[in-house]
């Protein structure tokens, strides 16, 4: 039964995309423009999600830690 619901949703979503005028080719064009390239400088940094892991590595390498923290809505809509 779940596959029927998923199939129906996919059909509705596909129909909505066609009605909005967003073709598959246009979607791929927009996606290519928005997805950052892997050779961007910030992509080369070995970012850590866990603070303890970052602290351990920083202590071993005797380097500081840069912490990016925020509070509130991810889009700044607070």
Taking only the tens place, the pLDDT of each residue in 30-54 is 999 999 888 889 888 888 889 999 9
Cα–Cα distances in angstroms (integers) from residue 73 to residues 46, 49, 78, in the given order: 25, 19, 6
Residue 68 is predicted with a pLDDT of 81
The 10s digit of each residue's pLDDT in 1-27 is 555 454 555 555 565 555 678 999 999
How far is it, in rounded angstroms, from Cα 24 to Cα 5?
Answer: 23
pTM: predicted TM-score of the whole model, two decimal places: 0.42
């Amino acid at each position: 039964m779940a596959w029927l619901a998923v199939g129906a949703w996919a059909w509705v979503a596909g129909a909505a995309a066609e009605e909005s005028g967003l073709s598959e080719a246009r979607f791929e064009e927009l996606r290519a423009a928005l997805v950052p390239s892997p050779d961007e400088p910030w992509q080369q940094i070995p970012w850590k999600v866990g603070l303890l892991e970052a602290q351990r590595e920083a202590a071993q390498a005797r380097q500081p830690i840069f912490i990016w923290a925020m509070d509130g809505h991810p889009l700044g809509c607070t």
